């Protein structure tokens, strides 16, 4: 249900229930948790790629797994507490960049997963739907926090309250995602981005990521201090020395993520 490969510093996770547009089951949660164990224990990791098999990225929670017609109350809160929130928290704390390659529709919790990417690249035919609005639920998986910060309150409210499908092109125009790429060479665009990040000075770009993401809960003065402390630490890294040497010697730097 989820494919995983780790090679040359790149961890590739592929949601793989294409007939159900990769809707997430309890089994997939377990598998994702095992995969994240492996990723977190990996020594020479440089980038994580999350994508979907088939024509969808992820259609959110599998709505067929626990039929609502079944007897007894449905405790969605428990599912979120035990499975969705831990998954989102672990993705938010990855030690390397997370690239989400949105190959097709991303709906409900699937849209949340897609938008967890530090860099989100979507195929032209992909789209984002806060389908919670269509089934009597509210946005979850951090979406209600993230969305107004990404695209502003009016657009966040519009998406959350109508469940309207937002095309990849519009998502890019709104600043919801990094890039919308043509379907025909989507994979090439994704691989180019993954290669770029895998060869990047990981500590520097992760310090950038953390500073930018955490800036939402800090004031300007605190952020200046964070930048000072970050540069102080980064100034001692291999990759900083390598970056400056390569520049002076007019050659390509060989970053090692150290
Ligand atoms: C599906 C699903 C699906 C099962 C498509 N489940 N089979 C809530 C509660 C608690 C815990 C945590 O999180 C959440 C958050 C959530 O994620 S709530 C939101 C759940 N997701 C949705 O409401 C989206 C439901 N899906 C759709 O609205 C459509 O499928 C979209 C708009 C994504 C795609 O539409 P189409 O391109 O027209 O495809 P389709 O509807 O024909 O779907 C293809 C197949 O995939 C179909 O199966 P079938 O056997 O008829 O070919 C669907 O039943 C199945 N599928 N989503 N979530």
Question: Strands (DSSP E) along the chain, which ranges?
Answer: 2-7, 10-15, 47-52, 56-58, 98-102, 105-107, 119-123, 127-129, 166-167, 179-181
- State the distance from the centre of ligand 1 to the C-alpha of 134, rounded, in angstroms: 11
- State the distance from the centre of ligand 1 to the C-alpha of 224, rounded, in angstroms: 44
Distance CA 10, CA 90 (A): 17
In this prediction the ipTM stands at 0.98
Q: What is the pLDDT of residue 72?
A: 74
Q: What is the pLDDT of residue 37?
A: 98
- Supply the residue whose CA is at minimum distance from atom 24 of ligand 1: 59
- Supply the residue whose CA is at minimum distance from atom 30 of ligand 1: 59
Q: What is the pLDDT of residue 68?
A: 72
Question: What percent of the chain stands above pLDDT 90?
Answer: 96
Q: What is the separation of C-alpha 181 from the centre of its chain, rounded to a whole number of angstroms?
A: 17
> Helix, strand, coil proportions of the chain in percent (round to 5)?
50, 15, 30
Query: What tens digit of pLDDT does each residue of 76-98 get?
Result: 999 999 999 999 999 999 999 99
- Supply the residue whose CA is at minimum distance from atom 46 of ligand 1: 20
Distance CA 28, CA 55 (A): 18
- Supply the residue whose CA is at minimum distance from atom 44 of ligand 1: 20
- State the distance from the centre of ligand 1 to the C-alpha of 158, rounded, in angstroms: 20
- State the distance from the centre of ligand 1 to the C-alpha of 256, rounded, in angstroms: 41
- Alpha helices by DSSP H, 141-201: 143-151, 153-162, 168-174, 186-198
Please state the pTM of the whole predicted model.
0.98
Which residues, in sequence order, are bridge partners of residue 54? none
Q: What is the separation of C-alpha 185 from the centre of its chain, rounded to a whole number of angstroms?
A: 21
- Residues whose beta carbon lies within 6 Å of some atom of ligand 1: 20-21, 23, 59-64, 76, 79-80, 84, 105, 107-109, 129, 131-132, 135, 137, 140
Q: Give 10-residue mean pLDDT values along the chain (258 residues).
A: 98 98 98 98 97 98 83 86 98 98 99 98 99 97 97 98 98 98 98 98 98 96 98 98 98 97
């Amino acid at each position: 249900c989820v494919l995983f490969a780790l090679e040359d510093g790149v961890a590739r996770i592929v949601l793989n229930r294409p007939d159900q547009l990769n809707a997430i089951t309890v089994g997939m949660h377990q598998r994702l948790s095992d995969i994240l164990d492996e990723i977190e224990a990996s020594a020479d990791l440089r980038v994580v790629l999350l994508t979907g098999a088939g024509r969808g990225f992820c259609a959110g929670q599998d709505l067929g797994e626990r039929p609502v017609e079944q007897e007894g109350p449905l405790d969605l809160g428990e599912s979120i507490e035990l499975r969705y929130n831990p998954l989102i928290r672990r993705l938010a704390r990855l030690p390397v960049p997370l690239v989400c390659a949105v190959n097709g529709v991303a709906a409900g919790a699937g849209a949340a997963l897609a938008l967890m990417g530090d860099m989100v690249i979507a195929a032209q035919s992909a789209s984002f739907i806060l389908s919670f609005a269509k089934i009597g639920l509210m946005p979850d998986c951090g979406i209600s926090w993230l969305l107004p910060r990404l695209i502003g309150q009016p657009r966040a409210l519009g998406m959350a309250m109508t469940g309207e499908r937002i095309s990849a092109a519009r998502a890019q125009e709104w600043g919801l995602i990094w890039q919308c790429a043509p379907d025909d060479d989507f994979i090439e665009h994704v691989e180019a981005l993954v290669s770029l990040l895998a060869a990047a000075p990981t500590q520097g770009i992760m310090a950038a990521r953390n500073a930018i993401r955490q800036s939402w809960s800090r004031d300007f003065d605190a952020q200046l201090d964070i930048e000072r402390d970050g540069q102080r630490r980064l100034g001692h890294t291999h990759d900083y020395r390598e970056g400056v040497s390569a520049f002076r010697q007019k050659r390509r730097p060989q970053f090692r993520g150290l």
